[in-house]
Structure 1
């Protein structure tokens, strides 16, 4: 745990200054050149004595045990290694973004082989990057360029998207000063649902390379890691196209360490021994949240992961009952769906010991609603992180270090090794405790920056080492962090700020439960003065449908007007929709809703002039 680890039964004292720190203390020291794969599978002792099911496909029942996982990782890594037999003709990967080299994109939905592929890349020192399986051809073309991906590992179901992306490249490549697509069509590997297939179309499969690698000799070498480039994430967010964000082996190891330190200290505090866990694997593996769960924790904890390549509520509930799942890592839309669905009454959820939410803001009412359906009858805690620093804050066990509980109105306390500041985003001055400002974070989990994008990186770090999260929060008397909103999603109305999440929570809190989802964004007020009106898009419940659109809109307006200040009223209107669009990680696509509304207005104005 490190020489400065605090007593779990002691009393944490909040720091009086502008910089505040984790109650768990600093990180323990590690070898500076360590590779994340060697951290998870130490070469001198890579596996425990007893094997167990590590990954299970919730739909097909296919399995990989821990021993099978490690064996396949080693075989695939031999086939990936640039200085070995190298059947794919890979070159050496770059150590920083200042040099060229092999970068392999992974374009796949969740699959029990996804973590095998990533660990094989770690082991072979092949830099890789996950790509959202929901990407359109244009988005795929864009992220492959951003990553400067020279090779691609793709699930067979996504091949049509790749073909369209290549067509786009033929017409768009290099336009407007953009970089060119450098993907080599001879370096495409397919992840097939048929593990015995050697080729899909003309491309070799993951299974084929594993079988080939199993016949190759394992050379003795010391793997490199440390501050060298390890992985590229798509940065999250709702504005613009995604960027490629760098993660070093150092970042990945410290992210894994946070979970180990947190779990070990919690077990020590509670006086229990950690036991085998079974997790529901619906969080996408390409995302930082999924990376932590399915890749960075392999062999650090004893766990079985029930993987889902697509979300289906009843399949998830069946899996919970069948596999006696003990932990549900979720995103807010799934928390809400499970909480509100009558299907939960059909299945046995008594095995669930823990449920956590991440990747987006979780409204307190939703946290309480699902908590009441689970054995502990406690609100669902919500952690906080972002692609640029995967894990920053989380609610710990109540009472540890003498801390009061972090209820659902907070995102908890800083995680091990993290320091924080709350800063006025305009003046860049630290604000007093209790006053809202932008959260800045400093830790070994923080990204070195955006890949080959010095301008965007500079915007992240106004001061050296301090990551600007872009989130508005405030810090209370115990150094708990209270989330307010995304800085870029604050709506300016006559110079006053409106937090979209505050208005959304108010709408969802209507006592008649007229709606089950809401999105609020600022739209043009039509006066040409640059000011905005808050506008809401809502999805009605069965009760809302029964009462009718006119009654629902009237009651929602009356409710908001009675609860919130005048500048927060929905003068931009309320619109009933079938669905609120979200990213795979659960973030509301406010920009998309706003842009579609503005486009519709322009079309109507144009038609009126004809």
Structure 2
């Protein structure tokens, strides 16, 4: 019997040549290229569309269940309702259908121009439905951060070449301000011009009865329109065609737009299905049993895309959505809906771990919690693990990926394939379908096991490049097919990957490299628990010799604040000097701050702290 990825059974996620979780023993090796213990992806048609992976056209829908629930209003969308609405909206979006919005055909890659729909909204009950309508209509879309300022929105609209836009009603004022900035003529930072047609703006409203908002048609009005249109049977195309665009984080300059193909998106969704199935087989339980998930990760982000859009109907998931992060609402939702899975980012892990509110709610239903999108300090991972009754005190695992390759590595289920445990200091093993190398970033030569180098990866999750930015794409791929992650890692004797730091965040002190995360972890690891959060960066030493000073900014715990900043600074300085080599000492000083700035996904904005410090020093020197 041939493998069929569309059959409605968990076995479709197991490739014919996949390793057996009990019998196959992964053997670490010294070859420069190493791969995932989970093996390859299952075979799939070369032109498969993301929507048809999630909803195979020849399969009946499973019995209905709540798919998305708004934690605030309790409004619910069931699986069957989701599918019917996505089909209706897709009929409206098709460029070759009745086409009331006058949408054009979308480009298949960045060598073409065409229709690209911007998705500019906070988390919303119907955001995933709009995304699936786009897949079904073969309409390329681009996710845009709802936290964008007018200037940032104007920039991203141009970088993504957005021609039409879905905008949440609360963000219309930001859009109006962005449009006032003009086409971008004369902007030396980018040659791309604003091509958004204001007549193609549609509004995502919280009031489903409205047909228009501020003169723009609503998503609900278009769904109602689509429900009256006939369905035209057609073969959807996908594969290596562009499916959507991601906005890069913007932590090092203005954001870029990266292309994600249908194959990229499907592969990111499949990795969780493969690991979940294999882990269950190893544990001797039924694979992919129904789960109830806390929904707070931003939907425009690569992490959120996997959770809320790429896995719809691949297994039974009831997702309880928080429109925005609210600690007590999250805890109430866990208790009320008996949530089983908590996908989180480091700032949320820290809040759950350290807030006294956590003790007031029943968290016994949670069987899985994990972190992604940014580095998770070990102490915080352990703190939350101790608060979850079912974790046995084990630390919260943290996955690793990039916007350019959404999911690369994660801790493996203990013992599967004979693997050694993924220690808290590691990001684990490569995920299904991935290959990697560790390379000296200067010589571009592979390094030996145990040596530091830049992580290079390849696999079907890797972006084909940045949209209409050949120069940035060329910098991303040093060799054909190999993505330079920009992260400094070490591969150990078991082929586990140890994350060390961002290469750009390495601090050079008298020719020696200092990993900011190592110093931050040491500060957080003080035996008295003096520090709640920490940021370390290299600052100008004033000598113009290319060397830097190591400086720290710390957020104190409530208890340590009582001791006074001077006493705390002395204790932390002594602690650093007792644990780390001299070139890693805080020669640039230490400053107590109220908070460390981060992106919504949890990435620390070290550059912002460094720039603030340099601006302060410059201003002081002028006096």
TM-score (norm 2): 0.96
Q: Structure 2: how far apart are the matches of 1:19 and 1:337?
A: 39
* Aligned position for 2:154: 141
User: What are the within-5 Å matches in structure 2 for residues 94-493 of structure 1?
Assistant: 94-169=107-182, 172-176=184-188, 178-236=191-249, 238-273=251-286, 274-375=288-389, 376-377=391-392, 378-493=394-509
Deviations 1:343-393 (A, max 9, x none): 111000000000011011111111111101112222111111111111111
Give 1:512 deviation, angstroms: 1.6
* Aligned position for 2:100: 87
* Aligned position for 1:512: 528
Q: Quick check: 1:554 aligned with 2:570?
A: yes
Give 1:178 deviation, angstroms: 2.8
Q: Which moved more, 1:421-430 or 1:505-514?
A: 505-514
8 Å contact kept, 1:381–1:407: no
Give the secondary structure class of the aligned counterpart of 1:140: helix
Give 1:229 deviation, angstroms: 0.5
* Aligned position for 2:4: none
Give the secondary structure class of the aligned counterpart of 1:246: strand
Q: Structure 2: how far apart are the matches of 1:157 and 1:529?
A: 50
* Aligned position for 1:2: 15
Consecutive aligned runs of 4 or more in structure 1 exceeding 6 Å deviation? none
Q: Structure 2: how far apart are the matches of 1:180 and 1:61?
A: 42
Structure 1: state its 5+ residue gaps: none
Q: Quick check: 1:583 aligned with 2:599?
A: yes
**Which residue of 544, 552, 557 corresponds with 1:528?**
544
Give 1:523 deviation, angstroms: 1.1
**Which residue of 73, 77, 92 corresponds with 2:90?**
77
Deviations 1:446-499 (A, max 9, x none): 100000111111111111011111111111111111110011111111111110
Deviations 1:234-261 (A, max 9, x none): 1235211111000000111111121111
CA separation of 1:218 and 1:144: change in aligned 2, threshold 3 A: same
Q: Structure 1: how far apart are the matches of 2:304 and 2:411?
A: 19
Give 1:46 deviation, angstroms: 4.9
* Aligned position for 2:76: 63
8 Å contact kept, 1:289–1:358: yes
Q: Structure 2: how far apart are the matches of 1:148 and 1:523?
A: 37
Count of residue correspondences? 605
Give the secondary structure class of the aligned counterpart of 1:24: coil
User: What are the within-5 Å matches in structure 2 for residues 15-26 of structure 1?
Assistant: 15-26=29-40
Give 1:168 deviation, angstroms: 2.5
Q: Structure 1: how far apart are the matches of 2:534 and 2:180?
A: 37
Give 1:544 deviation, angstroms: 2.0
Give the secondary structure class of the aligned counterpart of 1:365: helix
Q: Structure 2: how far apart are the matches of 1:18 and 1:310?
A: 44
Give 1:173 deviation, angstroms: 3.8
Structure 2: state its 5+ residue gaps: 1-13
8 Å contact kept, 1:422–1:439: yes
8 Å contact kept, 1:282–1:307: yes
TM-score (norm 1): 0.98
Give the secondary structure class of the aligned counterpart of 2:293: strand
Deviations 1:164-200 (A, max 9, x none): 2112236x54421532111111011111111111111
* Aligned position for 1:494: 510
8 Å contact kept, 1:367–1:381: yes
Give the secondary structure class of the aligned counterpart of 1:372: helix
Give the secondary structure class of the aligned counterpart of 1:437: strand
Q: Quick check: 1:47 aligned with 2:61?
A: yes
CA separation of 1:46 and 1:546: change in aligned 2, threshold 3 A: farther
Q: Structure 1: how far apart are the matches of 2:410 and 2:358?
A: 27
Q: Quick check: 1:545 aligned with 2:561?
A: yes
Q: Structure 2: how far apart are the matches of 1:470 and 1:77?
A: 38
8 Å contact kept, 1:22–1:414: yes
Q: Structure 2: how far apart are the matches of 1:562 and 1:63?
A: 55
8 Å contact kept, 1:144–1:183: yes
Deviations 1:275-306 (A, max 9, x none): 21000001111111000000000000101001
* Aligned position for 2:8: none
Give 1:202 deviation, angstroms: 0.8
8 Å contact kept, 2:69–2:318: yes
8 Å contact kept, 2:295–2:321: yes
**Which residue of 12, 20, 26 corresponds with 2:26?**
12
8 Å contact kept, 2:93–2:134: yes
Give the secondary structure class of the aligned counterpart of 1:207: helix
8 Å contact kept, 1:15–1:21: no
